[in-house]
Amino acid sequence: MMLRFDHLAVSALDLAEGVAAVEAALGVALARGGQHPHMATHNRLLGLGDLYLEVIAADPAQIAPLWPRWFDLDNFEGSARLTNWVACCDSISAAVAASPEGLGIPLALQRGDYRWQMVVPSDGKLPFDGCFPALIEWAGSLHPAQSLPESGARLQRLEIAHPQAQALNAALASIFTDRRVVIVPGVAKAMRATFTTPHGLRVLE
């Protein structure tokens, strides 16, 4: 059972603010996204070839859920920034069994024609301060990366810094391999993504 890199998540207090920050950083336009009724969130997307990036925020037009939102959005503060990454799998139950405890339970979700299962922690907080990937299993062949407009941007490197870098590497060693993802020691959680774009190398943090 191996995980595959699926997408990046940029959290924001306000979706428009998050979109503006990403577009300014990368110099490319984001495409439309949609709403997630179960979590009362909404997003906008950016195609990155085999991956995609989402800017996600709580949606003020929806009633707040009685349970914690994903990506710990209920406790998010400050400016829009890269907070999480997501890995996909063919068997969500097998992926959970091979992952650290406290990852959560799979939820069946949908947005338009897209259907998937995603593991959401009961408190919204993913292991290793959100540096362990959220897990997703897509239903059928539909995937956002396939339908997004070509942006000309591609992820070159995702650097994840964490005080428990060695333990995080060990937790991923047998289930995830992607040279673009590098985990390094750091005094606190930090994520830094480097992209090739039509305007040269750009960085998003």
List average pLDDT for each run of 10 residues in the chain, which is 205 residues long. Answer: 94 98 98 94 97 98 95 97 97 92 87 90 93 95 92 98 98 96 97 97 98
Within 9-127, residue ranges assigned H as helices are 15-26, 92-97
The pTM (predicted TM-score) of the whole model is 0.95
pLDDT at 105: 86
pLDDT at 151: 97
Burial of 145 (0-12, 13-18, 19+ CB in 10 A): middle
| Residue 99: half-sphere exposure toward Cβ, Cα within 13 Å | 29
pLDDT at 33: 93
| Residue 140: half-sphere exposure toward Cβ, Cα within 13 Å | 9
- Its CATH class, for the domain covering 4-149, is alpha beta
Q: Which residue in this structure is represented by tokens 């339908």?
A: 147
pLDDT at 77: 97
